[in-house]
Amino acid sequence: MSASSASNETFKFGFVTIVGKPNVGKSTLMNRIIGQKISITSHRPQTTRHRILGIHTDADKQIVFVDTPGIHSVRKKSNRRTMNKVINKTAVTSIDGVDVVCFMIAANGWNDADVHALNALNMAVKDSKTPVILIINKMDKLSSINALLPLIADSSTRFDFAEIVPVSALGQRKDDGVDHLMEILANYLPNDVAGFDEDQITDRSFRFLVSELIREQLCRRLGDELPYATAVQITQFEKRGAIQHISADIWVEKDSHKAIVIGKGGESLKQIGTSARRNCEELLEGKVFMELFVKVRSGWADNTRDLNQLGYDEDLA
Ligand SMILES: Nc1nc2c(ncn2[C@@H]2O[C@H](COP(=O)(O)OP(=O)(O)OP(=O)(O)O)[C@@H](O)[C@H]2O)c(=O)[nH]1
Ligand SMILES: [Mg+2]
């Protein structure tokens, strides 16, 4: 398969951003399409915090997916940190200049959080002609297929969606709707030559992906217990012989948060380290030695300089 096997006149190339409220499955869908974990996922809302590209290339198209943080209301006090504003802005600005916007909801239907995200989208696409496709995800969770028609009817009253496509991003079944979605997306893309090398699957460095794999384990293992203001900074990323040496600081804001991350007798941190190391070995295709340190840094989620240091600025550039 080669990006250059279709002629220049018929090859399609374009950008597709995926937006929606937290936890609907945006990152899961992107990973499913690319066939590799590029963007971390968990059952905890607000897992994604950065804009991440996932590049799909086949014989007749290259689609660059933009995975975004879930758009969320900052009305709740706990969501009023500078970090919340920064990540919401990341999601909304990622709509700028793309060929297609995919707005995602889950099959259990619309709630206030979906409406809030749709309003933010509406403001962002207001005067542009960018087509917006509604993706209804988690179809496997729908109690009966009979519930789909009313959901489609309800959805079309809320926005002038160019298409409505039901999928199940988690499934690997032939009829999970993802292939159909890819065909639909291609119809909305311009004829153009590929913009990226055909083996490139993301714009992010291994160093970034490793910090995310550590944060994924924090989200997955600690779930709701995980203090919101937790971040990972890689302090060492060095190959010595056949072994990749990785050290990372896990930033929290309070001693009590540090205790949660470390767990009784250090058990939580140990498990987080073991799983993250295994995932990093898979990503880097080699042996990894990993050390994690938990550091208390009060107020970092409201401190622009700290946020910049953790990579929250580049998304806004
Ligand atoms: N049953 C089912 N679960 C799914 C499906 N897609 C995603 N999930 C689950 O939904 C949860 C959230 O998935 P994510 O991909 O992290 O969601 P997200 O929209 O990227 O969330 P944020 O990054 O927080 O905005 C995870 O536990 C996924 O395994 C699906 O098609 N079916
Ligand atoms: Mg995500």
**225 vs 250 pLDDT, higher one:** 250
Instruction: Say whether pLDDT at 106 is over 90.
Output: yes
Count CB neighbours of 233 within 10 A.
18
- Does residue 39 share a domain with residue 122? yes
**CA angle, 283 then 289 then 295, to 5°:** 100
- Does residue 237 share a domain with residue 131? no
| Most confident range, picked from 78-82, 289-293, 310-314 | 289-293
- Tell me if 17 CB under 6 Å of ligand 1: no
What's the whole-number mean pLDDT along residues 199-227? Answer: 92
Residue list, CB under 5 A from ion ligand 2: 26-27, 47-48
**Boundary (domain end) residue, out of 142, 157, 187:** 187
Query: In this predicted structure, what is the pLDDT of residue 197?
Result: 96
- Tell me if 14 CB under 6 Å of ligand 1: no
- Does residue 291 share a domain with residue 164? no
- Does residue 222 share a domain with residue 89? no
Query: In this predicted structure, what is the pLDDT of residue 1?
Result: 44
Instruction: Say whether pLDDT at 314 is over 70.
Output: no
Domain that holds residue 278: 206-316
Residue 267 has which token pair?
């058990």
- Does residue 105 share a domain with residue 44? yes
Asked whether residue 293 is domain-assigned, the answer is yes
Instruction: Say whether pLDDT at 183 is over 60.
Output: yes
Question: Band of the pLDDT at 5, cuts 50, 70, 90?
Answer: low
Instruction: Say whether pLDDT at 55 is over 70.
Output: yes
Instruction: Say whether pLDDT at 195 is over 60.
Output: yes
**306 vs 215 pLDDT, higher one:** 215
Instruction: Say whether pLDDT at 32 is over 70.
Output: yes
- Does residue 212 share a domain with residue 300? yes
Instruction: Say whether pLDDT at 4 is over 70.
Output: no
Task: For 263-294, write each residue's pLDDT tens digit.
Answer: 999 999 999 999 999 999 999 999 999 999 99
Instruction: Say whether pLDDT at 80 is over 90.
Output: no
Asked whether residue 274 is domain-assigned, the answer is yes
The residue whose CB lies within 8 Å of the most ligand 1 atoms, and thus the one to mutate among 21, 28, 49, 92, is 28
Asked whether residue 282 is domain-assigned, the answer is yes
Contact 3, 56 (CB under 8 A): no
Q: Atom of ligand 1 at shortest distance to CA of 21?
A: 25
Scored b (16 or more CB within 10 A) or e, 270-309 reads eebbebbbebbeebeeeebebebebeebeebbbeeebbee
- Tell me if 137 CB under 6 Å of ligand 1: yes
CA 91–ligand 2 middle distance (angstroms) = 11
- Does residue 310 share a domain with residue 238? yes
CATH of the domain at 169: 3.40.50.300
What's the whole-number mean pLDDT along residues 227-250? Answer: 94
Asked whether residue 259 is domain-assigned, the answer is yes
Question: Band of the pLDDT at 184, cuts 50, 70, 90?
Answer: very high
**Per-residue three-class SS string for 151-204:** HHHHHHHHCCCCEEEECCCCCCCCCCCHHHHHHHHHHCCCECCCCCCCCCCECC
- Tell me if 217 CB under 6 Å of ligand 1: no
User: Measuring from atom 27 of ligand 1, which residue has the nearest CA?
Assistant: 43
**Boundary (domain end) residue, out of 155, 187, 219:** 187
Asked whether residue 73 is domain-assigned, the answer is yes
Task: For 12-21, write each residue's pLDDT tens digit.
Answer: 999 999 999 9
Q: Is 146 helix (H, G, I), strand (E, B) or coil?
A: helix
On the CB side of 75, how many CA atoms lie within 13 Å of its CA? 4
Asked whether residue 159 is domain-assigned, the answer is yes
- Does residue 235 share a domain with residue 146? no
CATH of the domain at 250: 3.30.300.20
Q: Are strands 52-57 and 61-67 parallel, antiparallel or unpaired?
A: antiparallel
- CA–CA separation, 202 and 189 (whole Å): 19
Q: Could you say which ligand is closest to the alpha carbon of residue 23?
A: 1
Asked whether residue 106 is domain-assigned, the answer is yes
Instruction: Say whether pLDDT at 317 is over 50.
Output: no
Query: In this predicted structure, what is the pLDDT of residue 6?
Result: 63
Query: In this predicted structure, what is the pLDDT of residue 172?
Result: 66
Query: In this predicted structure, what is the pLDDT of residue 316?
Result: 42
- Does residue 277 share a domain with residue 171? no
- CA–CA separation, 136 and 158 (whole Å): 14
- Does residue 107 share a domain with residue 182? yes
**Boundary (domain end) residue, out of 135, 155, 187:** 187
Contact 66, 18 (CB under 8 A): yes
| Most confident range, picked from 24-28, 140-144, 146-150, 296-300 | 24-28
Query: In this predicted structure, what is the pLDDT of residue 2?
Result: 46
Q: Could you say which ligand is closest to the alpha carbon of residue 168?
A: 1
- Tell me if 220 CB under 6 Å of ligand 1: no
Contact 154, 109 (CB under 8 A): yes
Min mean pLDDT across 48-52, 168-172, 279-283 is at: 168-172
- Tell me if 268 CB under 6 Å of ligand 1: no
User: Measuring from atom 21 of ligand 1, which residue has the nearest CA?
Assistant: 23
**CA angle, 287 then 289 then 290, to 5°:** 130
Asked whether residue 49 is domain-assigned, the answer is yes
Domains identified in the chain, total number: 2
- Does residue 150 share a domain with residue 294? no
- Does residue 35 share a domain with residue 183? yes
What's the whole-number mean pLDDT along residues 247-268? Answer: 94
- Rounded mean pLDDT of the chain? 91
Question: Band of the pLDDT at 155, cuts 50, 70, 90?
Answer: very high
